[in-house]
């Protein structure tokens, strides 16, 4: 008799600021939910639990019918004095309803996450993450840093959505939302993503990225990504260091080495300056069990490139490097997004360092 394989448990908390400008997004995202859920049943099935909260308010005709404060204090029995989020009416204008960074802290720390479940937050807003506003100041940056730290401490992936903004510092605001997502292994979305693909597709990507965080998201067509999974690791080294860190961390593992492979570009006049994308995957080190890995940071750089003939607008790039714990193997998996431009441009080697903070 073969036991049925259980789907991966995923706890997704969707949070929206409840300033007046976010009403349309609250309703549109709620209406797109059923289509997104149906899509993920095929693309990335999981034991999914979705919770919807407004910050210091709710939205009619939407799933956002509970506040973060009420849920944490009443359902999770958290003393109100412990919450970082501020009460409605205590901050100028709708500021308390736009305390995105503080609420990310509170949910990461106090939400009733299921034991063993993958944890994720999807935050939607259109102003600064500390009490709103149309510019990024030092208080916003500090609050964002604290939110990132708390999310990483609690192993929470944070996805973000930055809505419509008329601010002169729109790009700076959008960059802060993207910084939260990138620093916690999540994805960042904007109003343009919704205009292009709809909220159902955005929500599907949020769920699928959370369910399989080490899988690539395809870049814009017409360039298809190449998956490079057969790299050989040369000079692979491991260092184990005893530490006394947050949340009971007691070991830091450092992995270094060089991945050797072949990845060549493809030039077509119609592609202009487009790089051919490639995703390099490999696993390193010992096996860890769920809950042992607290945080993973990875860096990498090109170690060997070449051009087989005269360079014709040639280029080589490392667009991103990320690593996370792979549940199936128990090892740490690195993913590097590489780019090559020119028919005879090649990447041969990639140097890496992966730092793994653990409780073992």
pLDDT at residue 306, as a whole number: 87
pLDDT at residue 327, as a whole number: 81
Residues of the chain with CATH 3.40.50.410: 9-211
State the Cα–Cα distance between residues 21 and 133, nearest whole angstrom.
12
More confident residue, 343 or 135: 135
User: For residue range 273-322, what is the model confidence (pLDDT) as tens digits?
Assistant: 567 778 888 999 999 988 888 889 999 999 999 887 666 677 888 988 99
pLDDT > 70 in the chain, percent: 89
Q: Average pLDDT of 338-347? A: 80
pLDDT at residue 7, as a whole number: 65
Instruction: Name the CATH topology of 9-211.
Output: Rossmann fold (3.40.50)
pLDDT at residue 80, as a whole number: 95
User: For residue range 100-147, what is the model confidence (pLDDT) as tens digits?
Assistant: 999 999 999 999 999 888 999 999 999 999 999 999 999 999 999 999
Q: Average pLDDT of 238-262? A: 89
Predicted model pTM: 0.61
Q: Is the pLDDT of residue 45 over 90?
A: no
Say if CB 208 and CB 43 are below 8 A apart.
yes
Joined tokens for residue 318 = 């490392």
Say if CB 263 and CB 346 are below 8 A apart.
yes
Mean pLDDT score of the chain:
86
Handedness of CA 93, 94, 99, 103 (dihedral sign): positive
pLDDT at residue 210, as a whole number: 84
Instruction: Please give the distance of CA 140 from its chain centroid, rounded to a whole number.
Output: 20
Q: Could you write out the DSSP letters of every residue in 169-216? A: THHHHHHHHHHHHHHTT--EEEHHHHHHH-HHHHHHHHHHHHHSTTSP
């Amino acid at each position: 008799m073969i036991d049925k394989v259980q789907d991966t448990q995923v706890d997704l908390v969707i949070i929206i600021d409840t300033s007046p400008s976010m009403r349309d997004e609250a309703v549109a995202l709620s209406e797109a939910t059923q289509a997104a859920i149906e899509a993920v049943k095929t693309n990335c099935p999981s034991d999914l639990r979705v919770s919807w909260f407004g910050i210091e308010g709710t939205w009619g005709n939407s799933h956002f019918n509970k506040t973060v404060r009420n849920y944490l204090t009443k359902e999770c029995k958290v003393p109100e004095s412990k919450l970082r989020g501020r009460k409605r009416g205590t901050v100028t204008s709708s500021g308390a309803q736009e305390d995105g960074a503080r609420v990310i802290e509170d949910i990461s720390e106090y939400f009733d996450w299921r034991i063993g479940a993958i944890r994720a937050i999807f935050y939607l807003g259109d102003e600064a993450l500390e009490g709103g506003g149309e510019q990024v100041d030092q208080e916003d940056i500090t609050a964002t840093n604290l939110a990132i730290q708390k999310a990483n401490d609690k192993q929470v992936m944070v996805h973000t959505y930055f809505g419509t903004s008329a601010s002169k510092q729109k790009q700076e605001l959008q960059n802060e939302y993207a910084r939260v997502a990138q620093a916690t292994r999540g994805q960042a979305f904007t109003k343009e993503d919704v205009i292009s693909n709809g909220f159902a597709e955005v929500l599907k990507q949020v769920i699928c990225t959370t369910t399989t965080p080490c899988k690539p998201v395809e870049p814009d067509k017409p360039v298809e990504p190449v998956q490079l999974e057969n790299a050989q690791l040369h000079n692979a080294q491991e260092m184990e260091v005893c530490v006394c860190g947050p949340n009971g961390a007691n070991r830091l593992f450092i992995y270094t080495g060089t991945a050797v492979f072949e990845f060549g570009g493809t030039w077509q006049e119609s592609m202009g300056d487009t790089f051919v994308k490639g995703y390099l995957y490999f696993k390193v080190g010992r096996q860890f069990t769920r809950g042992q890995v607290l945080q993973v940071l990875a860096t990498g750089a090109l170690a060997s490139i070449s051009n087989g003939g005269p360079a014709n607008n040639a280029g080589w790039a490392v667009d991103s490097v990320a690593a996370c714990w792979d549940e199936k193997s128990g090892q740490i998996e690195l993913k590097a997004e590489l780019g090559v431009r020119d028919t005879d441009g090649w990447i041969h080697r990639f140097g890496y360092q992966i730092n793994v903070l653990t409780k073992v």
